[in-house]
Amino acid sequence: MTDQDLKPLFAAAAANLVYNAPLSEERVADLVRRLAPADADRRVLDLGCGSGELLRRLCRTHGVAGDGVEYDPAIAERARAAAPDLDQVTFHTADATTWTRPADVVVNVGGSHIWDGTAPALAALQRLTRAGGRLLFGEGFYRTAPTDQIREAFGDLPDLAGLARLATTAGFRPLHVAESTLAEWDDFESDWRAGIEQVGTPQARAFADRRREEYLGGYRGVLGFAWLILMPA
Ligand SMILES: C[S@@+](CC[C@H](N)C(=O)[O-])C[C@H]1O[C@@H](n2cnc3c(N)ncnc32)[C@H](O)[C@@H]1O
C-alpha cells in the first residue's frame, strides 16, 4: 500500500479515538490533577494536540486559558468543533515547530516526531516551558530489547531510564515517571483498529489484520509509552 492509500486509513483510525495514545480515563484524571497550575493566570499549551481533549480537560478543570497547535486542518477543525463554548481555549492550525510563546503547562503527547525525535523535541519543549512550569511529555520507549523488525518500525528509542536521562540532559527535573499499562495499550490498539474496520473495504481489513498481527505477535509488551511530568531545572 502506498502512503496515499494509507493516509485515509490512518485518518479513520484517529477519528475513532479520543486520545491518540494508550491513555485511560483514570490516567487522564491523575495527570490533570498533577498538572494543576499555580493560579488561574497561567496558560496551557498543547503542541500536536490532536482532538484537543486533554487540553480542554486541563483548562476546564483548572479554569485556565490554553492554546492547542495542530498541523492537520481536519483534526484542528474537529478540535475546534468539539467544544465551541469553551472560549478560553484556542486551536491554531499551524506547525508546532514555528510556535515561540512559552507557557506554564506545556503538553506534548505522542508528538516528538514533530521535532524529528526525542532529544530535539525535549530541547524545543524546554525553551517553551516557563520557569516553575511543567511539561507533560508522552513518549515511546522500549520496555525490552526490540527485534530488528520492531526497531525498523519504531526507530531508535531509549529504555525508560534512558528517556528520563534525556530529559535531565535537556534541562528538566523529572517529577513523575509512569508508563501506560498493557490494558491501556490493548484498548488503544483495539480502538485504533476499530476505526479502520469501519471503513469496511478489503484494503482496510487487510491493513487492520496486518496491524493486529504486528501488535499481538510483535510489539505488545515491547514498545512502552511513558508519561513524564518535567520541571525546568
Ligand atoms: C500521535 S498524534 C497525538 C495527538 C494528541 N497529542 C493525543 O495524544 O491525542 C500526533 C499529532 O501531532 C500532529 N502533528 C504532526 N506534526 C505536527 C506539526 N509539525 N505541528 C503540529 N502538529 C503536528 C498530528 O497531526 C497528530 O494529530
pLDDT digits (tens, 9 = 90+) for 5-25: 899 999 999 999 999 999 999
User: pLDDT value at position 5?
Assistant: 87
Q: pLDDT grade, residue 1 (50/70/90)? A: confident
User: pLDDT value at position 72?
Assistant: 95
Q: How far is CA 38 from the centre of its chain?
A: 24
What average pLDDT does range 71-89 have in this prediction?
93
pLDDT digits (tens, 9 = 90+) for 106-136: 999 999 999 999 999 999 999 999 999 999 9
What average pLDDT does range 154-183 have in this prediction?
98
Q: How far, in Å, is the centroid of ligand 1 from the Cα of 49?
A: 6
CA distances to 69, 80, 139 from 93, in Å: 6, 10, 23
**Cell, residue 22:** 494508550
* Ligand 1, pocket residues at CB < 6 Å: 19-21, 48-51, 69-72, 75, 95-97, 109-111, 114
Please, what are the domains in the chain?
Answer: 20-181+222-232 (3.40.50.150)
Q: Please state, in angstroms and rounded to a whole number, the distance separating the CA atoms of residues 188 and 145.
A: 22
